[in-house]
Chain A
Amino acid sequence: MIKIEHLNVFYSENKALTDVQLKLESGGIIGMIGPNGAGKSTLIKAILNIIPYSGRVLIEGKESKKFLKNIAYVEQKSNIDLTFPITVKECVSLGTYTGLKLFQKVGSKEWLRVAQALEKVNLSEYANRQIGELSGGQFQRVLLARCLVQEADYIFLDEPFVGIDSVSEKIIMDLLQYLKEQEKLILIVHHDLSKVKVYFDELIILNKEIIAYGKVKESFTHENLKKAYGDNIFIGD
């Protein structure tokens, strides 16, 4: 369980997040939506202690700093340099680092986990390719395989469905369902409102502060969306 108490984040003089209070339980896929600049990625980075914040973030009752190795984080894939000399399997193997000692190398056990994860995302045959040779959807699956090998209980994904093909979307959704059955807590930053009901069990609507949080049926209402996005919001049903 993740408990966020009175969380505030400032960027220079501007308040990016105001008094965020949340209690997220494991065993579900939680979506987080909000307009551009609403602070969605910022909230994730605050939980991960990547940016400074005031307030408290508790994971299983303890300071989140102590749980960082148990959180698998996939940033927006556009942030990653696809020309970097790293193969698909090496990229996935980064997820095993949290379990290795300071000078310990990735060993045969870890490579086996990497191979299994690549099989799960249906990319075994691409294991030795350079990451830039993959399509957007395939690379997103690589990042998800990296999450799998980390064997974390908390999984944060930032915009995983952007620019991917339907095959990758299906594979990713199946995998998220599998992780959900494993009682993982999955938090996904998302912007396409049309798929909210398909993807998520619970929904956080954010615009610098929490507008709504709860089961999708209860929180994904026109009224809440208007509060977050303004009067011009339109979603087809």
Chain B
Amino acid sequence: MIQNFINGLYEFHFLQNALITAVVIGIVSGAVGCFIILRGMSLMGDAISHAVLPGVAISYILGINFFIGAIAFGLLSSLIITYIKNNSLIKGDTAIGITFSSFLALGIILIGVANSSTDLFHILFGNILAVQDIDKWLTIGVSIFVLIVIALFFKQLLITSFDPLMAKAIGMKVNFYHYLLMVLLTLVSVTAMQSVGTILIVAMLITPAATAYLYTNSLKKMLILSSSIGAISSVLGLFIGYTFNNAAGSSIVITSAIIFAVSFLISPKQKFIRKRVKV
């Protein structure tokens, strides 16, 4: 089975593209996901990943690169959610629910207007085996950009995630870093759309990060471990998808979920937390 997969890698260009793209997406979504779960923004990640859909559709209609429309709508949704949350009695999770479902519905209608239903299926559920060279290079480029931004602003992202009040007290622009993270999240959502699809992106963002959280006591280690788990899940998921002829995106998500489930049972930190709860 493994030999068959390796032979396929030598033989088929589409499989090479799929593997490289999936690994890169696993790494970058694992890294951004750490900040998402530590800031309690998992739902926001879900919302933005769904909200990029109308942007993708409009890009198809206008004949421009889908990144542009997706980023515009991803950011628009995060602005709308933050605005509703800060300026009404509505709570954050409700604002997220209303916004992302509306954007998703709008996206589905627009995709219907723009193109055939096959495209919609691929956008919703991903089609890693159909990744073109241009998409692969775009994914690599965007991912390198996201990782560089994280490295450059690491200390700001750390303090605003861990102790936003202290960050404000020393005069840091906490809102700026919130929106910076939203931009990164949108970029990752658009790239990950190709591998696991819009519906499942949130799994790539939060499952490897949540798994890494169970093992690590420092953010740097968590980022490295989460990215590694993301990459490993992508390789194993692709292998399973290719070998058993399953949907590769879903196989990647299930693989990372299994790694999480095992970690949940064996991680020393989890046992530690349980002990604390008993006390």
B-binding residues in A (CB < 8 A):
48-50, 65, 68-69, 71, 73, 75, 79-81, 83-87, 90-91, 94, 97-98, 100, 103, 105-106, 128-130, 132-133
List chain B residues, Cβ under 8 A from A84.
38, 161-162, 219
Cross-chain contact B170 with A86 (CB below 8 angstroms): no
Q: Jot down 18 A-B pairs with beta carbons below 8 A, ordered by A.
A: A48-B169, A50-B165, A65-B171, A71-B169, A73-B170, A81-B162, A83-B273, A84-B161, A84-B162, A85-B216, A85-B222, A87-B217, A90-B219, A94-B159, A94-B162, A94-B163, A98-B170, A105-B154
Contact of B155 among A48, A50, A68, A97 (CB under 8 A): A97
Number of A-B contacts (CB under 8 A): 71
Contact of A68 among B165, B171, B269, B272 (CB under 8 A): B171
In whole angstroms, what is the CA distance A71 to B222 when docked?
31
Q: Give the residue among B152, B166, B273 with the most A Cβ atoms within 10 A.
A: B166
Nearest A residue (CB) for B214: A85
List chain B residues, Cβ under 8 A from A130.
217-218, 269
B260-279 at interface with A (beta carbon < 8 Å): 269, 272-273, 276
Cross-chain contact A85 with B219 (CB below 8 angstroms): yes
Cross-chain contact A75 with B165 (CB below 8 angstroms): yes
A-binding residues in B (CB < 8 A):
38, 152, 154-155, 158-159, 161-163, 165-166, 168-171, 213, 216-219, 221-222, 269, 272-273, 276
List chain B residues, Cβ under 8 A from A50.
165, 168-169
In whole angstroms, what is the CA distance A79 to B272 when docked?
21
In whole angstroms, what is the CA distance A128 to B216 when docked?
12
List chain B residues, Cβ under 8 A from A48.
168-169
Contact of B166 among A75, A85, A100 (CB under 8 A): A75
Nearest A residue (CB) for B159: A94
Contact of A86 among B166, B171, B219, B276 (CB under 8 A): B219
Closest beta carbon of chain B to A92's beta carbon, Å:
12
Cross-chain contact A105 with B155 (CB below 8 angstroms): yes
Cross-chain contact A87 with B218 (CB below 8 angstroms): yes
Nearest B residue (CB) for A88: B217
In whole angstroms, what is the CA distance A58 to B168 when docked?
18
Given A85-B213, A94-B158, A130-B218, 15 more contacts at CB 8 Å?
A48-B169, A68-B171, A71-B170, A73-B165, A75-B163, A75-B165, A79-B165, A80-B163, A85-B38, A86-B162, A86-B219, A87-B217, A91-B162, A94-B166, A128-B217
Closest beta carbon of chain A to B161's beta carbon, Å:
8
Cross-chain contact A106 with B217 (CB below 8 angstroms): no
Cross-chain contact B219 with A73 (CB below 8 angstroms): no
List chain A residues, Cβ under 8 A from B269.
130
Task: Known A79-B165, A86-B219, A130-B217; judge A97-B152 contact (CB<8 A).
Answer: no
Top 3 closest pairs, chain A to chain B, by CB: A130-B217, A68-B171, A73-B169
List chain B residues, Cβ under 8 A from A128.
217
Task: Known A68-B171, A97-B155, A105-B155; judge A73-B162 contact (CB<8 A).
Answer: no
In whole angstroms, what is the CA distance A139 to B47 when docked?
36
In whole angstroms, what is the CA distance A132 to B161 when docked?
16
Cross-chain contact A103 with B152 (CB below 8 angstroms): yes
List chain A residues, Cβ under 8 A from B154.
105
In whole angstroms, what is the CA distance A130 to B217 when docked?
5
Closest beta carbon of chain A to B223's beta carbon, Å:
9
Closest beta carbon of chain A to B186's beta carbon, Å:
23
In whole angstroms, what is the CA distance A110 to B141 when docked?
34
Task: Known A97-B159, A106-B155; judge A85-B217 contact (CB<8 A).
Answer: yes
Nearest B residue (CB) for A94: B159
List chain B residues, Cβ under 8 A from A80.
162-163
Nearest B residue (CB) for A74: B166
In whole angstroms, what is the CA distance A191 to B169 when docked?
22
